[in-house]
Amino acid sequence: MPYLTHLDLSHNKQLLLESRGRTFQGLEDSLLYLDLSNISLLSVPELPLRRLQTLYLANNELASIPAEMASNLTSLHYLDLSANDLTVVPLITHTLPELKTFNLADNPITAVSNTSFLGIADSLEELDIRRLSLSTFESGALCKATKLRKLYITAYNGVKNFNFPNILQYNHGLRHLVIDVQNDTDLEKEMRGHFPNKLFNITLTGRALKTINPDILRGIRNPHLHFGMYNTSVSSVPKKMFENAEWARNVTVHLRHNDVRTLHNPSNGYKPGVPGKRFLLKLTVAGSYFTCDCDIGWMETWQRKHRQYQEDRCSTYSDFKNFERDEEDDEFDCWDNAWDDDLREAYCMNKNNISVIEMLKTDLECGWGAASYIYAPHRLVLFFVAVLVTAIY
Tens digits of residue pLDDT in 262-306:
999 999 998 888 899 999 999 999 999 999 998 998 998 898 888
Is the separation of the CB atoms in 170 and 146 below 8 Å?
yes
Tens digits of residue pLDDT in 139-173:
999 999 999 999 999 999 999 999 999 999 999 99
Tens digits of residue pLDDT in 80-128:
999 999 999 999 888 898 999 999 999 999 999 999 999 899 999 999 9
Output the average pLDDT for the chain: 87
> How do strand 6-8 and strand 250-256 relate by DSSP bridges?
unpaired
> How do strand 201-206 and strand 150-154 relate by DSSP bridges?
unpaired
Tens digits of residue pLDDT in 186-196:
999 999 999 99
Please say whether the structural domain 173-312+340-366 has been given the CATH code 3.80.10: yes
Query: Which residues is 262 bridged to in the sheet?
Result: 236
What are the domain boundaries of the chain? 1-148, 173-312+340-366
CB neighbour list of residue 382: distance below 8 Å, 6 or more residues apart: none
Percent of the chain clearing pLDDT 90 (strictly above): 66
Tell me whether domains 1-148 and 173-312+340-366 share a fold.
yes
Count of alpha carbons within 13 Å of 212, Cβ hemisphere only?
Answer: 32
Q: Which of 369, 382, 381 is nearest to 268 (CA)?
A: 369
Count of alpha carbons within 13 Å of 180, Cβ hemisphere only?
Answer: 12
CB neighbour list of residue 28: distance below 8 Å, 6 or more residues apart: 48, 49, 50, 51
Q: What CATH number does the domain located at 1-148 have?
A: 3.80.10.10
pTM of the model: 0.88
Is the separation of the CB atoms in 160 and 136 below 8 Å?
no
Buried/exposed code over 240-275 (b: 16+ C-beta within 10 A; e: otherwise): ebbbbbebbbbbbbbbeebebbbbbbbbbbeebeee
Q: Please tell me whether residue 290 adopts helix, strand or coil conformation.
A: strand
Handedness of CA 111, 114, 115, 120 (dihedral sign): positive
pLDDT at position 377 over 50? no
